[in-house]
Amino acid sequence: MTAASTPKGERRRQALVEAAAQLLAEGGFEAIRHRAVAERAALPLASTTYYFNSLDELISAAVEHAAQAELEAGRRRLAELTEEHHNADSMIELMLDLLLGTRSRDGGLDQVLLRYERLVGSPRRPYLAPLMRELSARLHDLLTEILAHFGVDIGRQHLLELIMLVDGAVVNALIESDPDPRATARRVLHSRLG
Amino acid sequence: MTAASTPKGERRRQALVEAAAQLLAEGGFEAIRHRAVAERAALPLASTTYYFNSLDELISAAVEHAAQAELEAGRRRLAELTEEHHNADSMIELMLDLLLGTRSRDGGLDQVLLRYERLVGSPRRPYLAPLMRELSARLHDLLTEILAHFGVDIGRQHLLELIMLVDGAVVNALIESDPDPRATARRVLHSRLG
DNA sequence: CCTTTATTGGTACGGTCGTCCCAATAAGTG
DNA sequence: CACTTATTGGGACGACCGTACCAATAAAGG
C-alpha cells in the first residue's frame, strides 16, 4: 500500500519522507536506501516497503518534499522583503539562493553539487520527469515574480536565457581547482541585471 | 601492482582500460564494475585488481582513455576539413560534436547525458579532478584552434562564455518533455557566431 | 465486545558489490 | 637448465542492497 489510513500511519509515512529528503540533501539520490531511510526515521526496515510500493516512489516523494520546501522558503523570502533592501544586489542574491541554494553563500559546494546532480540525474529516472518539469515551472514563476517585484519586467525567453547562463556558469565552475560557482553565477547575473 | 611488466600483461591491461571506457560510454561511472569490466574484456575477475590497485584507478584510466580518443577524433576532424566546408554552419556542427558528442546529431540523448553526468559527477571523485581539468584545458585549446581555423579570433574569456552558454542550454534542455539539447545549443552558438 | 483491517517489526532470500587469497602456470633471467 | 618473478584464473569473504514474508499487535468499526 502506498497510503496510510490512520493518523499514526500518516505520521510515520511523513517521517519517512522527511528522512528521505534529508538523505537526499546530504548524499544525493543514491543515499536514499530502504535501510538508511528507516534508520534515520527510527522506524523498522519494512515500514519503507509498507508505505511505498518501491524505492522510486519514496525517492519521488522525497524530491517533491524537498523542492516544495525550497519554493516555500523562496516565497517567504520574497514576502519578507523590506523597502530598505530594494537594490539589485539583494535581488541577485535572492535569485542565487533559489538557483544554487542558501548554503552556497559561504562557499559551500555540496548543496550546489546536489542540485545539479539532481538535474542531470533526472533523465535516468523517468518517473521523476513530470515532477521535475512541474517544479521547474514553479521555480520560473517565482523568479519572474521576484524580478517583477524589483521592477524588472522580463519575458519568459529572457528568463530562460538567464537561467541557462547561471547553470552553464555553475557546471563549468565545478571542475575548477578552487570552485566558487556562486561567484561565477553572480558575475553573470550582474552583467545582465546589475 | 598497477603496471604490467610483460608484453602480454600490457595488452591485457590495455584491454581492461578499453572495456572500462566502453562501459563508461554506455552507462556512466556506475557501469564500471570489476565484474563487468572483466567480462567485457573476456578476462578473469581478479585481473582487474591485479592491474589496478582500486576501482578508482581503473575509472581514471577509462576516463583518460575515452577523453583522449575524443580529442584525437576532434583533431582529425579539424585536419580533414576541406575548403568547401568553410562556412559557419559546419564550424558550429564541429563544435557541437566536440561538446555534445557526435551521437547527438540524430537526436540521441544518451551520449549527451553521459557527458554531463561525467562533468557533474567529477567533484564526487576527487582523484579525477586534476585529470578533468587537464582534459578540459585541452578541449578549450582545440576549440580555439577550430575557431581560429575558421577565421574567428576569440579570446579565452569569450570562449569560456560560449561554453558556459552551451552547457547551460544543455542541462536545461535535459528536463524538457521532448529534449533536444543539440538544437538548443546550436541556436545559442548561431546567435553568437552565426 | 468482537471482528476486520491497518500496522508493526523481526527476519530471510537472492543478488551484486569490492576486495582478497592462493594454487597453478607462464615468462624472464642468470 | 634452474630459479625468480609475473601472471592467471578460480573461488571465497563480508558487506550492502531491494524486496518479500509473516506472526504479533494496535486501531477502527459494527
Cα separation, B190 vs B174, in Å, equals 20
- Dump pLDDT digits (tens) for B13-23: 999 999 999 99
Q: Distances in Å between the alpha carbon of A112 and those of A94, A102, B34?
A: 15, 9, 31
pLDDT, residue B84, reads: 67
Find the CB nearest A168 among B123, B166, B179.
Answer: B166
pLDDT at A1 over 60: no
Portion of chain B with pLDDT greater than 70, in percent: 97
Q: Which residue of A has its CA nearest to B164?
A: A168
pLDDT, residue B3, reads: 67
Cα separation, B111 vs B91, in Å, equals 20
pLDDT, residue B109, reads: 93
pLDDT, residue B2, reads: 65
Strand D atom within 7 Å of A1 CB: no
pLDDT, residue B22, reads: 97
Radius of gyration, CA atoms only, chain B: 18
Round the average pLDDT of chain A to a whole number and report it.
94
Higher pLDDT pick, B85 / A88: A88
- Chain A positions touching B177 (Cβ under 8 A) are 129, 133
Q: Which residue of A has its CA nearest to B185?
A: A164
Asked if B109 and B102 count as a contact pair (C-beta separation under 8 A), the reply is no
Binning pLDDT at 50, 70 and 90, where does residue A9 land? confident
SS3 B81: coil
pLDDT, residue B1, reads: 56
pLDDT at A99 over 60: yes
Find the CB nearest B164 among A160, A169, A177.
Answer: A169
Instruction: Please report, rounded to whole angstroms, the spatial distance between the CA atom of protein residue A25 and the C1' atom of nucleotide D27.
Output: 35
- Dump pLDDT digits (tens) for A101-122: 999 999 999 999 999 999 999 9
Strand D atom within 7 Å of A55 CB: yes
- Dump pLDDT digits (tens) for A47-67: 999 999 999 999 999 999 999
Portion of chain A with pLDDT greater than 70, in percent: 97
pLDDT, residue B194, reads: 81
Across the interface, whether the CB atoms of B171 and A120 are under 8 A apart is answered yes
Binning pLDDT at 50, 70 and 90, where does residue A84 land? low
Asked if B159 is an interface residue toward chain A (Cβ–Cβ < 8 A), one would say no
- Dump pLDDT digits (tens) for A16-35: 999 999 999 999 999 999 99
Asked if A153 and A193 count as a contact pair (C-beta separation under 8 A), the reply is no
Higher pLDDT pick, A84 / A156: A156
Q: What is the full DSSP assignment across A32-97?
A: --HHHHHHHTT--THHHHHH-SSHHHHHHHHHHHHHHHHHHHHHHHHHH--GGG-SHHHHHHHHHH
Give all domains of chain A, ordered by start, each with its CATH number. 1-52 (1.10.10.60), 56-193 (1.10.357.10)
Measuring alpha carbon to C1', the residue closest to nucleotide C21 is: B46
Q: How confident is the prediction along chain B (194 residues), in pLDDT tens digits per residue?
A: 566 678 887 999 999 999 999 999 999 999 999 999 999 999 999 999 999 999 999 999 999 999 999 999 999 999 998 876 788 999 999 999 999 999 999 999 999 999 999 999 998 899 999 999 999 999 999 999 999 999 999 999 999 999 999 999 999 999 998 999 999 999 999 999 98
How many CB atoms sit inside 10 A of residue B14's CB?
Answer: 15
Measuring alpha carbon to C1', the residue closest to nucleotide D19 is: A49
Instruction: Please report, rounded to whole angstroms, the spatial distance between the CA atom of protein residue B26 and the C1' atom of nucleotide C26.
Output: 35
